């Protein structure tokens, strides 16, 4: 199928200038919020994302912010405009109810503003961001076993909290009265509003210089080119039907029951269809609302194809997604979905990446480590002089995280925060967390022997120890609802085995025994308790027995790989001339060749 859009009459230099200016303005819109936000996860982790859309609700710019906030933008925008039909200059709509705006979990609020130039509607700006609190039983909403989605947090339908530049105080008061940190939430909401209005001014100046018709021609042309480029990438994948599957450890309610995401990928010509009909039925907590499912399906494709292709509407046209209602990938009200953006999102991405890897193994990207940093909500018996109330907090540290998956020709990177974030989320700062929250990280280090094996290996996992130093009278609740991969690891690609499993332990104060702290769970933590986390690395690419022995030697020399694992997994025999001196490790080439021949024969 060929693109339906006609080529726009715009010179290439003007197109490049206008396109890059729109990208810059979108980035600046987000960066202003990053540098002034009250919410920890917005300000320090960059848990947000602005997107520009045409009046026809087609994504134009999607930049380097978290995929779950950006790649779904067309779906919430359509839902909001279906309700209101028209937005006036100065309006701002917010909403977080995923059964209406079709997005993700409740702490991530959607903001939608129209962008006008004089009396002409030019764009919509969709901005999605993780608030410091969204009500519910616990801040952050990463707790399983809530009775229903109402118990998870405040469910906000699309509502205008700003009308023609004036705040709808009576409506807004109801929302702010049902969150624990109303001042911080209000501050961040108005910060987003102000940043988008500033972008509106900057876009107006761009139009003043080049004209409205030129701007519209540029946006249509870049979408047209994006569609052509994506279709060409799909055409290079052999036609056929390919399958992928991945599982979440459990749903936080029914023990020892994994939740499976299964996808059938059909490639035909320059189009493809991802069909999730064989996935498990909806469960508890980890269900993925439709927009979240779309976002991580797109992400798997975008990370597989040419990275220079913009992720705008054109890239979506040749991609079709089937997600039947009532499945874990498209739940129905009032099922809970607090863990959708981490646990289920990983499984959706991994299943799609596996199917794409079978279709096109040479370009397959192995999956990164799953998100594994335990969140915490709490109250400190310290009176805030501004409110007269005890301090409430929610922390998603993003410190105890693993490495990236890999691709053919390159090893993965250490320290990235998982496939679902794709490098767009900033790893947490130990110092910042220790200043604000009642914890001390005594150990944060790369974990030895934690890489995903392959001809090309993944980034490595981490080993961390987090000590609770909360004062007497504090309440500290750990939520591992965003952690997954202690039972079911990310898959490897092109003959590589799966990644390793992650582990979480609790060592209670005065007790040296380790207790298992499950993923997708919750529990209290007390002063002196120690949380121990060993994350997996990502997954590798290719048969580990084909890895260059010299690369294996260097990994051993640098202390990331043990001599025993080098032999057992990679078939490389390492000798060490001088004990304790890593510079003296060498490959025994003859023994390595013999061992690899034996191990490869056993593989077949």
Co-location of 563 and 495 in the same domain: no
Co-location of 419 and 552 in the same domain: no
Co-location of 526 and 578 in the same domain: no
Token pair of 519 as six digits = 């993923």
Supply the pLDDT for residue 139: 85
Confidence band for 2, pLDDT divided at 50, 70 and 90: confident
**595: containing domain:** 546-603
Asked, for residue 282, whether it belongs to a domain, the answer is: no
Co-location of 469 and 597 in the same domain: no
How far apart are the C-alpha atoms of 262 and 259, rounded to whole Å? 10
Cα–Cα distances (Å) from 131 to 134, 138, 168, 594, in that order, read 7, 13, 20, 58
Supply the pLDDT for residue 425: 84
**Would you give the DSSP letter of residue 154?**
-
Tally Cβ neighbours within 10 Å of residue 528.
Answer: 14
Supply the pLDDT for residue 205: 98
Classify residue 37 by burial, with Cβ atoms within 10 Å: 0-12, 13-18, 19+. buried
Average pLDDT over residues 432-437: 91
Co-location of 487 and 551 in the same domain: no
Asked, for residue 312, whether it belongs to a domain, the answer is: no
Query: Which helix (H) or strand (E) segment is 195 a member of?
Result: helix 182-210
Task: Please state, rounded to an integer, the average pLDDT across all residues of the chain.
Answer: 95
Which domain-ending residue is among 228, 245, 266? 228
Q: Longest C-alpha distance within the chain, in Å?
A: 79
Co-location of 518 and 560 in the same domain: no
Question: CA gyration radius for the chain?
Answer: 25
Co-location of 153 and 196 in the same domain: yes
Asked, for residue 503, whether it belongs to a domain, the answer is: yes
How far apart are the C-alpha atoms of 460 and 446, rounded to whole Å? 7
| Orientation angle between helical segments 290-302 and 345-359, nearest 10 degrees | 40
* pLDDT over 90 percentage in the chain: 89
Which domain-ending residue is among 176, 201, 228? 228
How far apart are the C-alpha atoms of 184 and 171, rounded to whole Å? 17
Closest CA to 419 of 78, 20, 66: 66
Place of tokens 């739940």: 331
Answer yes or no: is pLDDT of 3 > 80. no
Co-location of 499 and 588 in the same domain: no
Confidence band for 602, pLDDT divided at 50, 70 and 90: very high
Task: Identify whether the C-beta of residue 254 lies closer than 8 Å to the C-beta of residue 146.
Answer: no
Q: How many domains does the chain have?
A: 3
How far apart are the C-alpha atoms of 429 and 459, rounded to whole Å? 19
Answer yes or no: is pLDDT of 417 > 80. no
Tally Cβ neighbours within 10 Å of residue 516.
Answer: 11
Confidence band for 570, pLDDT divided at 50, 70 and 90: very high
Co-location of 530 and 398 in the same domain: yes
Supply the pLDDT for residue 322: 98
Task: Identify whether the C-beta of residue 261 lies closer than 8 Å to the C-beta of residue 328.
Answer: yes
Which domain-ending residue is among 228, 258, 287? 228
Query: Which helix (H) or strand (E) segment is 272 a member of?
Result: strand 271-275
Q: Dihedral sign, CA of 126, 128, 133, 134?
A: positive
Asked, for residue 74, whether it belongs to a domain, the answer is: yes
Asked, for residue 258, whether it belongs to a domain, the answer is: no
Answer yes or no: is pLDDT of 140 > 90. no
Asked, for residue 241, whether it belongs to a domain, the answer is: no
Answer yes or no: is pLDDT of 4 > 80. no
Co-location of 492 and 589 in the same domain: no
Cα–Cα distances (Å) from 278 to 242, 281, 296, in that order, read 13, 9, 17
CA angle 50, 363, 455 (to 5 degrees): 115
How far apart are the C-alpha atoms of 463 and 98, rounded to whole Å? 35
Asked, for residue 296, whether it belongs to a domain, the answer is: no
Token pair of 388 as six digits = 């007269």
Classify 289 as helix, strand or coil: coil
Asked, for residue 477, whether it belongs to a domain, the answer is: yes
| Orientation angle between helical segments 563-570 and 549-557, nearest 10 degrees | 160
Supply the pLDDT for residue 144: 94
Give tens-digit pLDDT for 507-563.
999 999 999 999 999 999 999 999 999 999 999 999 999 999 999 999 999 999 999
Place of tokens 């209101």: 84
How far apart are the C-alpha atoms of 533 and 461, rounded to whole Å? 10
Co-location of 224 and 372 in the same domain: no
Supply the pLDDT for residue 461: 94
Give tens-digit pLDDT for 12-64.
999 999 999 999 999 999 999 999 999 989 998 899 999 999 999 999 999 99
Give tens-digit pLDDT for 55-112.
999 999 999 999 999 999 999 999 999 999 999 999 999 999 999 999 999 999 999 9
Q: What is the pTM of this model?
A: 0.96
Co-location of 447 and 536 in the same domain: yes
């Amino acid at each position: 199928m060929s693109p339906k859009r006609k080529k726009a009459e715009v010179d290439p230099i003007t197109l490049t200038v206008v396109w890059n200016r729109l990208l810059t303005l979108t980035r600046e819109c987000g960066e202003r919020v990053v540098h002034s936000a009250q919410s920890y996860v917005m300000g320090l982790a960059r848990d947000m994302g602005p997107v520009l859309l045409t009046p026809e609700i087609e994504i134009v710019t999607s930049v380097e912010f978290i995929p779950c906030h950006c790649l779904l933008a067309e779906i919430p925008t359509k839902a909001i405009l279906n309700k209101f039909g028209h937005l006036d200059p100065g309006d701002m709509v917010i909403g977080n109810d995923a059964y209406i705006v079709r997005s993700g979990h409740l702490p991530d609020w959607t903001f939608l503003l129209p962008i006008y130039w004089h009396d002409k509607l030019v764009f919509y700006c969709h901005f999605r961001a993780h608030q410091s609190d969204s009500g519910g039983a616990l801040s952050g909403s990463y707790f399983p076993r809530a009775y229903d989605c109402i118990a998870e947090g405040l469910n906000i339908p699309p509502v205008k909290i700003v009308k023609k530049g004036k705040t709808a105080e009576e409506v807004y008061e109801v929302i702010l009265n049902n969150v624990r940190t109303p001042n911080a939430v209000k501050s961040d909401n108005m910060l987003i509003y102000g940043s988008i209005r500033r972008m509106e001014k900057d876009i107006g100046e761009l139009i003043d210089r080049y004209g409205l018709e030129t701007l519209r021609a540029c946006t249509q042309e870049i979408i047209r080119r994006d569609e052509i480029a994506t279709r060409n990438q799909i055409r290079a994948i052999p036609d056929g039907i390919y399958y992928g599957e991945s599982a979440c450890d459990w749903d936080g309610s029914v023990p020892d029951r994994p939740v499976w995401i299964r996808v059938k990928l059909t490639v035909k010509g320059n189009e493809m269809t991802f069909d999730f009909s064989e996935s498990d039925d909806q469960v508890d907590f980890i269900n993925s609302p439709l927009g979240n499912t779309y976002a991580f399906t797109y992400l798997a494709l975008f990370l597989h194809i040419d990275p220079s292709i913009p992720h705008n509407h054109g890239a979506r046209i040749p991609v079709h997604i089937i997600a039947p209602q009532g499945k874990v990938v498209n739940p129905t009200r009032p099922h809970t979905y607090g863990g959708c953006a981490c646990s289920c999102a990983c499984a959706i991405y991994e299943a799609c990446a596996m199917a794409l890897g079978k279709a096109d193994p040479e370009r397959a990207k192995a999956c990164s480590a799953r998100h594994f940093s335990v969140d915490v909500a709490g109250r400190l018996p310290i009176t805030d002089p501004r409110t007269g109330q005890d301090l409430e907090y929610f922390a998603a540290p993003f410190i105890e995280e693993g490495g990236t998956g890999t691709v053919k020709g390159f090893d993965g990177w250490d320290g990235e925060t998982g496939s679902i974030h794709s490098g767009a989320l900033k790893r947490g700062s130990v110092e910042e967390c220790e200043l604000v929250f009642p914890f001390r990280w005594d150990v944060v280090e790369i974990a030895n022997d934690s890489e995903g094996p392959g001809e090309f290996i993944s980034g490595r996992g981490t080993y961390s120890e987090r000590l609770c130093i909360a004062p007497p009278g504090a309440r500290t609740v750990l939520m591992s609802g965003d952690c997954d991969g202690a039972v079911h690891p990310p898959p490897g690609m092109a003959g590589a085995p799966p990644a390793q499993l992650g582990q979480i332990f609790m060592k209670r104060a005065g007790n040296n025994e380790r207790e298992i702290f499950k993923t997708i769970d919750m529990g209290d933590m007390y002063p002196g308790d120690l949380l121990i986390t060993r994350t997996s690395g990502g997954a590798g690419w290719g048969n580990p027995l084909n890895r260059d022995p010299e690369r294996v030697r260097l990994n051993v020399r640098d202390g990331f790989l043990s001599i025993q694992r080098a032999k057992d997994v990679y078939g490389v025999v390492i000798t060490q001339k001088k004990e304790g001196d890593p510079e003296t490790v060498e490959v025994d080439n003859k023994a390595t060749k013999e061992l690899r021949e034996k191990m490869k024969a056993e593989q077949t």
